[in-house]
Amino acid sequence: MHGVPPSLSARVVGSFAYLTVRDRLPTILTKVVDTIHRNKNKFFEEYGEVGIQAEKQAISLLSKLRNELQTDKPVLALTDGLPDTDSWNQYLERQQRLQGDQEPVSWFKSPWLYVECYMYRRIHEALLLNPPISDFDVFNEGKTQSFTESSQAVMSLCTYLEGIKNNIDELSKNPLFEHFSKLMQVSLWGNKCDLSISAGQENSQKTSPLDSLYSLLPFILVDDTKRVWSALISAQRPRDSGKNNADRVDIVLDNAGFELVTDLVLADFLVSSGLARQIHFHGKSIPWFVSDVTANDFQWTIRQAMATNHKWVSKCGVQWQRYLKEGMWCYHDHPFWTQPHEFCDMAADAPDLYTTLQGADLVLFKGDLNYRKLTGDRDWEHTVSFETALRGFGPAPLCSLRTLKANIQVGLQPGQGEKLTSQDPSWMTSGKYAVIQFHNPKSE
Ligand code: F6P
Ligand code: MG
């Protein structure tokens, strides 16, 4: 049995956590303030003077937040009385107990995962406390822009998908696996396009993702695609329809924009190829880590796809809407996804969500933040197994599709991490490397 290493924290001066708390988070907060300010006229047109007052109040709360962060003040309890407020405040007490009474929980001294999640919840609070602009998504502009700027890549991906679907019934297992593997990789590299690593700077997909897959293969440090495939195949059950398919694949979504399109394309392929009968998507219930998918982003993206004048993109959009209407696809946003917990706490702290995930034949976790939560955002040795780092989390066979953007990576071969560090010191944080990492709790 391995001991559990400490959480990553900005306490380690010079670490990526430290640089994030010192530089990236204040930059994100400044952008949020600018965005609200830029929308002042819109608030005035919609709500009159009350809108202007709300804009001022929200900006003042956010400036205070930035000051608390930059001067390493204690983390404060939330006051907005949302259904999850108590749970956040209890989590703060839990952190305080873990840290001991010597020093308060604070931005530079406490776990990076916790304080970073808390920042996004405080941004939400600043807006919530200021109706009528409570529903304003400060990250919306960036997310829609990132979708629009990826339009060429979206077109080539949808065209590719429609090409496969045209003769999908004739495909034997081998070519089906090849397409599956390609679309997993497209979804994997789609995770490069998040707006949080770039602190909200434009970060869209300009070229066809399919053209670069081969040259990107050496950057996939762990590739468990074959194991994921076996899990899907072994979950196939005969149906009344005459098809054999797995019952359900869940996708825990990450970013809106191009990444979401890659996930929708993968989901479409899984259903139309008969590999799965249903897809459950899990998104965020509040704006989160700049570009994460909310219900609004999810619906907006599908509507945009339907409305484009590109034949295959709009065909995909119409099909996706139909899947939703017919219940083959559904979207959930459990509050646990926007809390700071390590996923090993899910069974105890969100048992209903854990039970939901247990109903899946496979759960795909997209992106870096989900990887950090899967592995507890801890300072693990690179050779520790994924299973060990999951610390008992395993509601169903699961796979992380993640480009590396934080100082954490497990499940590597002895010497692999050291070699990478000598070749490219920023390998863990540049988003250039990736993993497709699988764990099957049923086979352990
Ligand atoms: O800033 C923290 C962080 O987790 C980074 O490591 C990463 O850049 C980003 O937030 C989230 O990335 P993703 O959208 O892939 O979860
Ligand atoms: Mg994200």
Q: What is the pLDDT along the chain (444 residues), one digit of tens a residue?
A: 458 999 999 999 999 999 999 999 999 999 999 999 999 999 999 999 999 999 999 999 999 999 999 999 999 999 999 999 999 999 999 999 999 988 999 999 999 999 999 999 999 999 999 999 999 999 999 999 989 999 999 999 999 999 999 888 777 778 899 999 999 999 999 998 765 555 555 566 777 788 899 999 999 999 999 999 999 999 888 777 777 777 899 999 999 999 999 999 999 999 999 999 999 999 999 999 999 999 999 999 999 999 999 999 999 999 999 999 999 999 999 999 999 999 999 999 999 999 999 999 999 999 999 999 999 999 999 999 999 999 999 999 999 999 999 999 999 999 999 999 999 999 999 999 999 999 999 875
Q: Which residue owns the Cα nearest ligand 1 atom 4? A: 369
State in Å: Cα 254 to ligand 1 middle.
Answer: 9
Q: How far is the CA of 366 from the centre of ligand 2 (A)?
A: 9
- Which ligand has the shortest distance to the CA of 198? 1
pLDDT of residue 171: 73
- Ligand 1 center from residue 307 Cα (angstroms): 31
Whole-number Å distance between alpha carbons of 431 and 398: 22
- Residue 125 Cβ inside 6 Å of ligand 1? The answer reads no
Cβ contact 246:239 at 8 Å: no
Is the CB of 20 inside a 6 Å radius of any atom of ligand 1? yes
Q: In the prediction, which pLDDT does 246 show?
A: 75
- Spatial distance between the Cα atoms of 137 and 54, rounded to a whole number of angstroms: 14
DSSP structural state of residue 412: P
**Nearest residue CA, atom 5 of ligand 1?**
405
Beta strands in 187-337 (DSSP E): 220-223, 237-238, 244-252, 276-282, 329-332
- CA distance linking residue 75 with residue 222, whole number of Å: 37
For ligand 1, is residue 346 a contact (CB within 6 Å)?
Answer: no
Atom of ligand 1 nearest to the CA of 367: 15
**Chain center to CA of 48:** 36
Strand partners, 222: 435
The verdict on the CB of residue 194 being under 6 Å from ligand 1 is: yes
Say if CB 266 and CB 158 are below 8 A apart. no
DSSP character for 405?
Answer: -
Six token digits for residue 429: 């944080």
Ligand 2 centroid, distance to 292 Cα (angstroms): 5
Residue 194 to residue 319: CA distance in whole angstroms? 26
8 Å CB contact between 104 and 4: no
For residues 422 and 377, the answer to whether their CB atoms sit within 8 Å is no
33: helix, coil or strand? helix
For the CA of 288, the nearest ligand: 2
Q: What is the pLDDT of residue 244?
A: 75
- Ligand 1 pocket check for 440: Cβ under 6 Å: no
Find out whether the beta carbon of 368 lies less than 6 Å from any atom of ligand 1: yes
Q: What is the 370 CA–ligand 1 centroid distance (Å)?
A: 9
Q: How far is the CA of 165 from the centre of ligand 1 (A)?
A: 33
Read off the DSSP letter of residue 110: S
In contact, 392 and 384? CB cutoff 8 Å = no
* Residue 1: per-residue pLDDT: 45
Strand partners, 148: none
- Is the beta carbon of 406 within 6 A of some atom in ligand 1? yes
Q: Which residues are CB-contacts of 282 (< 8 A; sequence separation ≥ 6)?
A: 250, 251, 252, 253, 331, 332, 333, 334, 337
ipTM: 0.96
Q: Please tell me the distance between residue 250's alpha carbon and the centre of ligand 1 in angstroms.
A: 21
The per-residue DSSP string of 125-156 comes to: HHHHTSTTSTT--TTHHHHHHHHHHTHHHHHH
Task: Return the ligand number nearest the Cα of 372.
Answer: 1
